[in-house]
Structure 1
């Protein structure tokens, strides 16, 4: 059986365990059904997620020109504190930025390799936590725009990490912590203009990933260097496929690659 299409991050459904779907233009694969099966991945070409042209991928699934031109790749995406739509000020496309920035956002704590602070749109809870491979998470602030979430994250990352160690996450080298307690510790450091939006009544969300075997060491598959790979799928965590030989493949990190997927 052979599927072909351009890679985009896997779609997910919250459950026990989480369900993963690799969606192509005219087809999809329910990835959980492939556990313990041999899969072959073949690089075919590049296809920019924005313009659709066959151009080398620069970052985030975009070719270089689209990365610097598209409103979907503005600096405010990675740095929410740079959002300006609430001021009526455009970065690249004000209409696009208003839709993305002027909606409820969550500042959260998640534990994937360590406790980290992060920002996501409210509509992306718990998808964002799933994509990060977090086994537990909690909302701490809900604000009406991305800017307020961004300045909260900036304030809190002086006291807690804003990064995930993807190697530790994939090896399941984790420790359960009390995120409610962490939220209480961080509350005094929330900016004054955001304090009215602080959440102190909710509980942790716990996430279960479909993994049969975690790797002891991780070897990252790079399709540019290894355009054809075959291995037995042993797990899915975050946006990573985990194989029996301890190879891992980051679907999100390979967006814009047009691939063939063969199933034995």
Structure 2
């Protein structure tokens, strides 16, 4: 069977193991059902997730002009501490910024390649952890806006990592850490303005991914350069498709590409 559509982040369902869905405009694929099957992926064209034009993707699924104009790609997306909606101050679109920034946010610890600190909207738990390929995660604080989450993350970054090593994550090479103990050690470094929001009684959330074989030496597929790829799917972790020959394809970083997918 053949499918065609623009790539967007895979939808997920928090089950054991996690279920993955590649959603196109008029169809979708349950990727778990494709494990151990051969998949052909062909690059067709670009389609910016904002303007829908066939323009080269710059970042986050957007063409360059859209990336520097729309609120969905503003700096505070990646750096929550730059949020200003709580001050009634506009960056690109105050209505959008209030909608996203002025809602409960979680600062969390996750273990994917190592223990790291991160920020997500409360409504995105555990989706955010799944997307990062975390094998376990735990909440630290729940704050009422994105700014407070951002300044808390910045403070904790002096004592714990804030990045995931994607190769280590995909190889499933990690040390099994006790995140409850990590949370207690980091408690003293939470900024005063967020200290009252510390969460005392949360336990670790464990995540299991549909992987039959982890890659020994992951090789990232550049589809726009290669134009096409064919391989046997052996696993899915984070937002990566893992193939038998150690090739890995990051769906998230290829948003905005129109592809043709053939299942053999």
Query: Does TM, scored on the shorter chain, surpass 0.5?
Result: yes
Question: Secondary structure, in 3 states, of the residue corresponding to 1:224?
Answer: helix
Instruction: Give, in whole Å, the separation in 2 of the partners of 1:121 and 1:102.
Output: 10
The answer for the alignment partner of 2:129 in structure 1 is 129
- Deviation at 1:175? 1.3
Instruction: Give, in whole Å, the separation in 2 of the partners of 1:108 and 1:3.
Output: 37
Instruction: Give, in whole Å, the separation in 1 of the partners of 2:137 and 2:166.
Output: 16
Question: Secondary structure, in 3 states, of the residue corresponding to 2:215?
Answer: coil
The answer for the alignment partner of 2:224 in structure 1 is 224
Question: Secondary structure, in 3 states, of the residue corresponding to 1:230?
Answer: strand
Instruction: Give, in whole Å, the separation in 1 of the partners of 2:144 and 2:204.
Output: 22
Question: Secondary structure, in 3 states, of the residue corresponding to 1:225?
Answer: helix
Instruction: Give, in whole Å, the separation in 2 of the partners of 1:202 and 1:117.
Output: 16
Relative to the length of structure 2, the TM-score reads 1.00
- Deviation at 1:226? 0.7
CA deviation digits over 1:201-256, x for unaligned, max 9? 11000000000000110110001211110000000000000000000000001000
Query: Mapping of 1:153-192 within 5 angstroms?
Result: 153-192=153-192
- Deviation at 1:112? 0.0
- Structure 1 portions without partners, runs of 5+: none
Instruction: Give, in whole Å, the separation in 2 of the partners of 1:223 and 1:212.
Output: 24
Instruction: Give, in whole Å, the separation in 1 of the partners of 2:8 and 2:175.
Output: 30
The answer for the alignment partner of 1:30 in structure 2 is 30
Instruction: Give, in whole Å, the separation in 1 of the partners of 2:226 and 2:176.
Output: 36
Q: How many residues align?
A: 264
Which contiguous aligned blocks of 4+ residues in structure 1 show a shift greater than 6 angstroms?
none
The answer for the alignment partner of 1:115 in structure 2 is 115
- Structure 2 portions without partners, runs of 5+: none
Instruction: Give, in whole Å, the separation in 2 of the partners of 1:166 and 1:204.
Output: 22
Q: CA RMSD in A?
A: 0.4
